[in-house]
Structure 1
Amino acid sequence: MNIAPLRHRPLLLLLCAGLLLGGCASQPEQSQSEQPAQQADAPRENSAAEANLLSQANRGDLDSQFQLGSLYFVGKPNKDLKQAEYWWKLAADKGHAMAAVSLAYLYTGRDNPDFNNPQQMLKYLNQSAAGGNPMAQHILGNLYLRGEQGVPLDANQARRLFNSACQQNYSSSCTALQEMP
């Protein structure tokens, strides 16, 4: 498949980002609960690792919060998007770039229309791009290139974002730069 058509589908890229996040989460789902700090019926072989992750997340470790949100997002057999949102938001609001891009994807509403929130999607996408995340820069560059999702049409801003991502070896942005007039 030619990669070039993907630059025309920023929300598809966000979907891919979400799927990639799922691949990053190698631990099984934690049980769903009303309060994020509680856990019940965890698989015996992983309960210590999960308890450690939860403990670190509760102590404010941003990577643990991001990982915990990712576990809830890809949960097997059931997702818990409210928990994913909770943990990602904790990390993103303190500057975790991947948590911010994950929230941006969640707020597209693709997994659940109840989470569709274009303003929050742009907030966290911009935050992640400003933090140097090349995936977020590429997606945002596409939005500027086409003037979509509440982003004004601005080819110069798109070029700047693609250039920043390309300098970080994000190949889709390098391709997009070559294809720009």
Structure 2
Amino acid sequence: MKNRERIFLLGIFCLISVMIVTDLITDFDEGVPLWHIFIEGSAGVMSIIGVIFILRNMLQLKVSLSKELQNSSAYKKEAEQWRIHAKEHINGLSQMIEAQLSEWGLTPAEKEVSFLLLKGFSLNEIGEFRGTSEKTIRAQLSAVYAKAGLKNRAEFAAFFLEDLLPGSDI
């Protein structure tokens, strides 16, 4: 049930309660039989129970929402700490990849193409990004593979990523 619906029902129950109390006062003054007052009084009590039930439910929702907001805040802090910690490792990984590319004797252009390839860009996207043709990118990657002693893109990616991913020892 939505909060709007709860407030609507709460208003109806309160209105019914006021109407019944008013009717009971009038009936009592007019000398209406006791059984009639008892029945209307029971309806009034049920209406008041409905008001209490809805108010209790709204209070529980408010408390629950407050707890969820606190949990959400804690999770956001935890996620931010994880990002900071992961960033340290990612920076270290980037430095290690850079060192390996330098060890292979790659040119700055070949290093840039290598990083873009590891990020998952297609040859066409790398060419567009660097303002060169796909043919030039292919030639640069052929030079990278030759200098690294690797056969293709898959071996190149595996060289850097193989030990990062969990799996069986093959």
Q: TM-score per shorter chain, which class? A: under 0.3
Of structures 1 and 2, the one with the larger relative CO (CA 8 A, separation 6+) is 1
- Give the structure-1-normalised TM-score: 0.24
Q: Which has the larger share of helix?
A: 2
